Amino acid sequence: MDHDPGDEHEEDGWRDRARRLRWRLSGAWQLPTFAVTTVLGTLVVHWRPFAGTRTDVASAFLLAGFANLVLLAAVAPAAGWLLRRRRPGLPRAIATDHAGATLLAAMLGLFVVLGLAHHGAVVDARHADDRELAAARAYLVQHGTDQYVRHAARPSVWKQADFLYRTCFAGDDPRRNFCLFVDLSHDPPRVTRDPDQQPNSFVAGTDNPGRQGH
């Protein structure tokens, strides 16, 4: 039986197509990894912030997304080049894709590690906030009038130093609050009335990062 050269060429063509498909599939990890790690990174940074005490979802999403984009744009090509030096037969696009996916996973792991390392500080800070609010509300109930006591659940807090807070409770006059200084360096906390009863929004400014709304 004669051998048809066309069959051999057709078989080689199928092999080439199968090889290209295999490479294409093996190099399709970067985009799905980017999507997954950005979502997970957002949740990690929101639930376990590695700076401060709170990171809202929008800020966490921007941080995770930006960090991942920087990795893919600036670091992944160089990492792919290093990978190709170890595996010369690996196409450039596939090497960059594999390196990018690995870097994205590593960044997610870094978020987790930093969040866990910082969690103790977050717990301490929130405990301090709870102590401050409890002391301010106790003073308000004892010395404040009804117009301020009605707003005890929603104070305005300005953290002026590590242990010093200015806490104000709104009243009938929006220009005059019941404002207190709470010093946590004492045990129990020392609470004193601020002679200036202007709201924190007037004194500190609405954009002051030390202001907190509870």
Q: What is the pLDDT of residue 207?
A: 47
Query: What pTM did the predictor assign?
Result: 0.67
Name the band, by pLDDT with cuts 50, 70 and 90, for residue 190: very high
Mean pLDDT of the chain: 85
Across the range 113-133, mean pLDDT stands at 93
Three-state SS for the chain is CCCCHHHHHHHHHHHHHHHHHHHHHHCCCHHHHHHHHHHHHHHHHHHCCCCCCCCCHHHHHHHHHHHHHHHHHHHHHHHHHHHHHHCCCCCHHHHHHHHHHHHHHHHHHHHHHHHHHHHHHHHHHHHHHHHHHHHHHHHHHHHCCHHHHCCCCCCEEEECCCCEEEEEECCCCCCCCEEEEEECCCCCCEEEECCCCCCHHHHCCCCCCCEEEC
Q: What is the pLDDT of residue 52?
A: 84
More confident residue, 107 or 12: 107
- Using CA atoms, how far apart are residues 23 and 26, in angstroms rounded to an integer? 5
Please say if the pLDDT value at position 138 is more than 70.
yes
Across the range 4-30, mean pLDDT stands at 53
Please say if the pLDDT value at position 2 is more than 70.
no
Name the band, by pLDDT with cuts 50, 70 and 90, for residue 55: very high
Q: What is the pLDDT of residues 67-81, one digit of tens each?
A: 999 999 999 999 989
Name the band, by pLDDT with cuts 50, 70 and 90, for residue 120: very high
Please say if the pLDDT value at position 197 is more than 50.
yes
- Using CA atoms, how far apart are residues 22 and 91, in angstroms rounded to an integer? 12
Across the range 162-182, mean pLDDT stands at 94
Name the band, by pLDDT with cuts 50, 70 and 90, for residue 7: very low
